[in-house]
Structure 1
Amino acid sequence: MYYYPLQPPYVLLIVGFLTALTCGLALSGTLQVIIQKWPSVNKEPIKSSSSLKQLLVPFIGITVGICLFMYSGLEIFGFPSPLALGVGLPLSLLTCLFIWLQLGSLLEFVSIRGMQSLDLDSWS
């Protein structure tokens, strides 16, 4: 017997996607502002923890949007609601946690070695 939801959560899928998209644009803008301030503060060491505090709210918005998107997407594809939540929530939270840790280490790396250390075009 197959499970078909009577009313698939298409609205939640769109809301989750738009939430993640708008918060991603906010995160991008905030990150650009933080990076533009770095050259003007060369005399003091750059603290990546203060930069990460400014990025926390948009990143939490992205995480919530991705959780909603994963949950509703799995439910649309036939997962029952508890199973969709049980699979989508840990998967999206762990992915966002790993991305947050990577972002923090990348900001620390750039603050120590400078932006030229990220020039990936010179490797080819």
Structure 2
Amino acid sequence: MYNIPEPPYFLLIAGLLISITSGAAFEAVLKQSVQAWAKNRSTRSLATLQGVELLLPFLGMALGVCVFLSSGVEIFGFPTRLAYMISIPLTVLISGLIWRQLGVNLVQLEQGGSQALDLDS
């Protein structure tokens, strides 16, 4: 008789919580770095703020999203290996694009101030 494996609900919730907590840390570090740069207007560019202190929470978010995504795919009956084969490349691609866009936004903020990022004007 065929045995249906139990869906990974625990990993789904764990991935979501990892992403949320890492996202809160990422937000706090990014805000603190930008505020410190705006206060001092140091010669150090905003693009160099993408250091380890910002990369670590970002990688935590990416890991949580990968686990969440693969667990969600597994809930629909896909095997674990296939679920991770789908979620890992997707997470790496999206994370790379977001990290690149963050660098572009920081350069725009440095060159034109907060008005450069205002989409309403």
- Compute the TM-score of the two structures, normalised by the length of structure 1: 0.88
**RMSD between aligned alpha carbons?**
1.7
- Indicate the residue corresponding to 1:52 in structure 2: 50
The code of the aligned residue for 1:30 comes to V
Q: 1:4 to 1:60 in 2, by over 3 A?
A: farther
How much has 1:39 moved relative to structure 2?
2.2
Q: Determine helix, strand or coil for the equivalent of 2:120.
A: helix
Question: Does the 8 A contact of 1:21 with 1:62 survive in 2?
Answer: yes
Q: 1:4 to 1:23 in 2, by over 3 A?
A: farther
Distance of 1:29 and 1:95 partners within structure 2: 21
Q: Determine helix, strand or coil for the equivalent of 1:8.
A: coil
Q: 1:85 to 1:97 in 2, by over 3 A?
A: same
The Cα offsets for residues 53-82 of structure 1, whole Å up to 9 and x where unpaired, read as 031010000010011001111001111111
The Cα offsets for residues 22-79 of structure 1, whole Å up to 9 and x where unpaired, read as 1001111111111111222225252422x10031010000010011001111001111
Where does structure 2 lack aligned partners over 5 or more consecutive residues?
none
Does 2:24 match 1:28? no
Work out the percentage of aligned pairs sharing the same amino acid.
41
Q: Determine helix, strand or coil for the equivalent of 1:6.
A: coil
Q: Determine helix, strand or coil for the equivalent of 1:114.
A: helix
Question: Does the 8 A contact of 2:45 with 2:110 survive in 1?
Answer: yes
Question: Does the 8 A contact of 1:13 with 1:69 survive in 2?
Answer: yes
Distance of 1:58 and 1:16 partners within structure 2: 14
Q: How many residues align?
A: 119
How much has 1:4 moved relative to structure 2?
8.0
Distance of 1:114 and 1:17 partners within structure 2: 34
Distance of 1:20 and 1:13 partners within structure 2: 11
Note the 1:1-124 alignment, pairs <5 A: 5-42=4-41, 44-49=43-48, 51-53=49-51, 54-122=53-121
Q: 1:43 to 1:73 in 2, by over 3 A?
A: closer
